[in-house]
Structure formats: structure tokens, C-alpha cells
Amino acid sequence: MTRAQQIGIVIGLIIVAAFAFLRISDPPLLRQIRDITFDEYQRISPRAFENVPVRVIDIDEASLKEFGQWPWPRDRLALLVQRLSDMGAAAIAFDVLFAESDRLSPRSIMRDVAGVDPSLLRQLPDNDELFADAIANRPVVLGFGLSNDGDYHPPVKAGFAFTGESVINAPPRLDAATPIRPQLQINAAGLGHISLNPGNSSTVVRRVPLFLTDGTHFYPNLAMEALRVAQGASTYVVAGAPDVADTLTSVKVGDFVVPVTATGELWIYTSPDVAERYISAGKVLAADGVSPEVAAAIQGNIVFVGTSSAGLQDIRTTALGQNVPGVSMHAQTVEQILSGRFLSRPDWADGMEILSIIVVGTSIVILTTFVSPAAALTCGLVVTALALAVSWLAFSHWGLLFDPLAPIVACTITHFAATSFRFLVIDRERREVRRAFGQYLSPSLLYRIEHNRDALRLGGDDRELTVMFVDVRGFTALSENLQPAEVVRFLNTLLDALSSHVVANEGTLDKFIGDSIMAFWNAPVDVADHAAKAMRAALGMRETLAKLNAADAFGFGRDYQVGIGIGIHTGLACVGNMGAQSRFNYSAVGDAVNVAARIESCCKEVGFDILVSETMAAALPDFALLDAGALGLKGKSSRARLYAAVGDRTVGQSPEFLVLREAHMDLIEALRDRTVDSRKPLARVRQRAQAFTAALPEFYRRIVRRADHFREAPTENRMKPQMGLTSDQGSAPV
């Protein structure tokens, strides 16, 4: 395992651990996302409405229009109870608060009239008494709400039996309740709270608490009390977890067992809001009596009395996204229990989801690091499909709620992070490889290799190249006085400094041959003005070497000056990958290569450090070049005109060089004419040469001995390249 892989594994596992910890802490945002997921499941497959014995007596807009605004006088509610009871309602549950006395009662109205005889008041009817008498000995359940004031706690009408560990503190807390008129709470068969989502800021009703607790007693909700009263049951059997305190598992009321959450909440498996669930209160209170259809719909049913009027502000939102009366949610609670269609989230669901994040996330990290991001992506897609499929099947077949998004999101982000790290590492290693090979190849060649899959095939193309050979002067004698390690250190210092000019001027470093460098321009990609760029590289080498000698960078002492010879030629050559299929080099061969190598050898004879061919000189008319004569090249039948490179275009256009060049031409004419004394022209050029490169004095010192190089004009070299002469042979030191 590489260090990069180790780092990748550690980072990946840290991300997985972070997601696992986040899921363990289960912040509100995750819970909200999970609830929305379960809402979507219900919208796809809602609980079908079943004709179970549950109805809602709806104080709707039509009823309010006929009997007046709410609140109605309680003698009318007494009539409603009597008629529902006479029609055989199994239980009558009011989703209404009776915290105050009836202001519409005749006794209450006359009490506020001055001068009324108290004995007369006692003879007037009281609506609260009428309503209390109506609910007495009838299966009526009244509701109470939660309050932030006072300390009222309603009486508990039912008994409780507990199994398992203590669960007295498991349900939501009841600190205080809205009071119920004393006689009403005494006569009611049951009392239940009407709060649907206490302590929950969400407007969507997904779970309803079946019980509240004050730490001493349990208080059932309206739906449970209605179901208990309808069955004539007297006791709730509350089951707690056998080994964990304050963890509810189920509640038994009469013949029905209801699975609940740890806090005693029932997941509402919502049914669409349908008209069949409702009966208008106006039809029950009709002056001409109740129709047989209404009587049949109420007989034997648990009925909830509430309102759907928007003005009374008892509208709730279901998991299906529908706005329904609050009383409908109580009715749906009993419908769900009677039909046996429950939703539940097992206690081990959280642990399973956390474990899936750890296992799948770790697998993704390992696959991404050691196999490939594609394999990890495939695994992630399979996990996503399985998580969705398992979660949906568990919901649709068994009513179990498992969150598929937790492992999916965690693994997706883990895969993205691990893949990003892998690509960043690969890119870094690629840059390191590029840096390493950039010491030998030009950026253009690296680009070609990276982007052209055919670039590494054997073969070559004929191209016009500018070829350069560089050789160290006196290297053999120098190396005899140095240790091998010192020779290597010297060469590394020198060749690194010189080769940088090749790369900087868009050249390709072909190879290092001992103390020599071979480079070329205009391959593998076209390089505009390649002859000028090669010349600038050579001039840069001259300047760099002078600085190295001045700084004694080689440690030989300032009295010892390292010298080089550079030969440059422009001509046709074959360039490409050459060698065996298993090992090859990108190189150039041909006559142009051989000529450049021979020109470099001529630097010793001429006594100058940079010589270029006539074709190079023709391509560089503005550069500071001086005719060096026609010299014979090894392996060539005719001589070749060479030029000494003094400087670049700036130097070539300077007045000083123009004067030097004119004096140089006078010297050449004198050398060609044996009858003319060349000493005066030579003195003039030597005087002016001091202002230019330090190599010119030696060049002019030898030029007189080379007078023959100027007396015979060279003929065009049409000789074919010498067979068997490679760039390696051509660049060997002479």
C-alpha cells in the first residue's frame, strides 16, 4: 500500500465516521428529511379508505348557516348527544373544549340583568346542566387541551396495567390542561386530550401521542378513549421494553393491540380525505328528524364531533399534503387501529441504518482506493438501488419504515470525496512524472505523449529540423584529474544549466551523450521561427556558462575556465520513435544531424564556441553572424561555409557590430588575396572584437592560419548522408 493510498483510506474512514456520528446524533434536519421520505411513500401508496365503524359528525359551513355561528348553545349539543345515542352510536367523542360555562344559557343571560329575582333565576334552565344530564350514562368522551398556565390535571377515567420496565416518563409531558366544567367531567364516560402533535413545530401530522404523562399518571388521547368506551373496556395494558426503561412498545385496549413508538406515539398511515367519512351535524339536528340513511351510518359506529369550518381554525396537514379538519385525524387514528393497518419503525432501525453507513461507506473507500472509482460507483449504484428497493418493500408489504437516504447520501458523498482525492493524487503524481521527464523532453513532446495515443508507436516523419550539438572542451583531460563522483557532479551542474535553455526555447532534448547534448527544434510539433529559437538557446548557454565560470560553480578555481563548442544546422531529418517495441527513444537521424555534429567539431579548429551552417545563417539575416570560412566536414566530399554566432538581432543591428562586420569583410578580402597584407585589417577587427564575446580574440588569432578556408568558395553539398552514421556517433567528442 502506497503512502497516498494510506492517506486516502484514513481520509475516507474519517468521512465515514463523521457521517455515522452525524446519524447517531440525528439532528432535526436529518429527521425532517426522513419524515419527508416517509411522506412520499404514503403519497405513492396511501392507506385506502375502508368502511370501518368510524364517522365524523361535522359542524360544517352548512350546519353553521342553519343553526348559527359557533359556539352553539349546549342544549343543542345535548340534543345532538341524545339523537346520536338513540341511533346507536358506540361512542361519542367531542373534539371540542368545554372549559367555560355556556354564555348562551338562559340562566347566564338573566344573571347579568339587574333586578332579577334570584328565585326566578333558579327556575330558568341551565344549558350546562342540560348537557351534563345528556352525557350522563351515555358513551360520551370529552376532550381537553394542553395549557401553559395553571396546574389543572383532569381525572383519569380508565385504569392502567403495565408490563416490562417502567415507562411512566416515556410519553410527552403534561404540565397543565385546560379545565373541563366540573359536572361535565364527572358525567363523561371518558376524557382524552385532543393535542395531535404537542411539542412538534411541524405543521404536518405524522404521529399522534396516544398518551401524555405528568410523571405519575398516563392521560389517553381522545381517539383511544373513544375506542375504549366503545368496547366497554376499563383498562389499558401498556407494554414497555423488557430491558430498557421508559421505552414503550405497544398498548392493548379491549380487543386491539396498537404498536407505538418508544414515546407512545402512533404513526398515522394516512387515508385520503373522502366525503364518506363525514356526516353533517345539520342532518343529525334536522327539525324533521334523522333520515334512515344517516341513522344507518351512525348505528354501531364511533363518532367524533368536530368542525371542518375554516373559520374555526382547526385545520391540519396530513402526510399526503392534504388540509383536513383536526377531528379527521382522531377518526383516522381509530380507523387505522380497527383495520389493523399500522406503520412502525423498529427500535433496531436506527442501528441498522448507522451500520449500513459504516459498512457501505468503508467498502466504497476501499474500492475507490484499491480498485477503481468506476467499481466504487457501480457498488454505490447497487447499494442505492437495494436501499430503495428494501425500504419500499418493507413499507408496502409490512408497514416498516426504514430510511434509505441516510446510507445513500453518506455513501454518495464518501464516494465523491474518495474519488476526488484519488484523482487529485493521480494528478499530482502525473505532475511529478511530468516534472521528471521535463528534464529530458520538451513540454510540447510531453503534451503530445499525454494527448496522442499514437505518439509512442515506432516510425518517423521527414521534417525540417534545426539540430544542435553541444560538447565540453577538454573534458577528457579534465576528467583524468577528478574522481568519478566529481565528474558526475560537474556534468550534472553544467548540463542542467545548459539544457534549460533548450526547453525554455521550445526545443526537444534528444539525449545526453557523456559530456555532450543533442537537441532539435520543430518536432514533435511545429515550432515557428525554430532557427532563431535554437540560436537564442545557444547564446543563452554562452551567457550561462560565463556566469558559472565567474562564480566558480564547478569548484575548479577561478583561473580554470570551462569551455563548450556548439554546432547548429537547419536541414531535413527523419524524426520519430526509434528502437525496439519494448524500448525506444524519440530521436532524429539523417544528414542534418550529421552536419550539425560535424559543425560542432569544427569549433576547435576555428577557435570559436558557436558555429552555424550557411542554411542557418540564411534563416537569421538580422543576427550578429560573421563568416568563419569554408571548412571540410568529416565524411563530406566538399567544404561547408560556416558562420560564427556573435549575438542576437539586437547585437546584429547595433552600429558597433556593423562596423565590426565591415572590418571583418575587409579582413576576408585580404586573406583571399595573397598579395595583400592582412595585418592592418586583422588589427582593426581585433580592436573592435573586444567589445563583444570573449571568444572572438581567439577566433581572430587563428583566422590567419586558416586563410585557405576563405580562398576557395565551397560547392553545394549534394552528397548523400553517410550510411551508418547516427546522431550518437556524430556528437562524440573530437
Which amino acid belongs to residue 520? F
Q: How confident is the model at residue 84 (pLDDT cuts 50, 70, 90)?
A: very high
Q: How confident is the model at residue 717 (pLDDT cuts 50, 70, 90)?
A: very low
720 pLDDT exceeds 60?
no
8 pLDDT exceeds 50?
yes
CA dist., res. 620 & res. 616, Å (int): 6
716 pLDDT exceeds 50?
no
What mean pLDDT, rounded, does the chain reach? 87
Q: How confident is the model at residue 119 (pLDDT cuts 50, 70, 90)?
A: low
Q: Which three cell numbers stand for residue 592?
A: 542534418
CA dist., res. 232 & res. 249, Å (int): 24
297 forms beta bridges with: none
Query: Residue 370: its pLDDT value, please?
Result: 82
How does 716-730 read in b/e, with b if 16+ C-beta sit within 10 Å? ebeeebeeebebbeb
Query: Residue 732: its pLDDT value, please?
Result: 33
**Span 77-99, mean pLDDT?**
95
**Span 110-114, mean pLDDT?**
63
- For the beta carbon of residue 396, count every other beta carbon within 10 angstroms: 12
Query: Residue 267: its pLDDT value, please?
Result: 94
Query: Residue 197: its pLDDT value, please?
Result: 82
- pLDDT tens-digit map of 466-495: 999 999 998 888 888 889 899 999 999 999
Q: How confident is the model at residue 433 (pLDDT cuts 50, 70, 90)?
A: low
- pLDDT tens-digit map of 648-682: 999 999 999 999 999 999 999 998 888 788 889 89
Q: Which three cell numbers stand for residue 243?
A: 430491558
- Under 8 Å between Cβ of 185 and 135: no
**Span 87-116, mean pLDDT?**
82
Least confident of 361-370, 393-402, 577-586, 604-613: 577-586
Which amino acid belongs to residue 689? A
Q: How confident is the model at residue 93 (pLDDT cuts 50, 70, 90)?
A: very high
Query: Is pLDDT larger for residue 713 or for residue 272?
Result: 272
- Beta strand 302-306 with 91-97 is parallel
**pTM greater than 0.75:** no
C-alpha angle 630/653/690, rounded to 5°? 70
CA dist., res. 19 & res. 340, Å (int): 36
Which amino acid belongs to residue 259? P
Which of 227, 309, 290, 225 shows the shortest CA–CA distance to 82? Answer: 290
Query: Residue 727: its pLDDT value, please?
Result: 37
Q: How confident is the model at residue 729 (pLDDT cuts 50, 70, 90)?
A: very low
306 pLDDT exceeds 90?
yes
Cβ contacts of 215 within 8 Å, gap of 6 or more: 168, 169, 173
**Span 137-146, mean pLDDT?**
95
131 pLDDT exceeds 50?
yes
Query: Residue 452: its pLDDT value, please?
Result: 55
Which of 308, 154, 265, 296 shows the shortest CA–CA distance to 219? Answer: 154
**Span 712-726, mean pLDDT?**
41
518 pLDDT exceeds 50?
yes
Query: Residue 723: its pLDDT value, please?
Result: 31
C-alpha angle 429/433/439, rounded to 5°? 150
Query: Residue 102: its pLDDT value, please?
Result: 84
Least confident of 124-133, 231-240, 610-619: 124-133
**Span 396-423, mean pLDDT?**
87
Which amino acid belongs to residue 407? P
Torsion angles phi and psi, residue 304, rounded to 5: -110, 130
Least confident of 1-5, 213-217, 288-292, 517-521: 1-5
Which of 557, 483, 541, 543 shows the shortest CA–CA distance to 509? Answer: 541
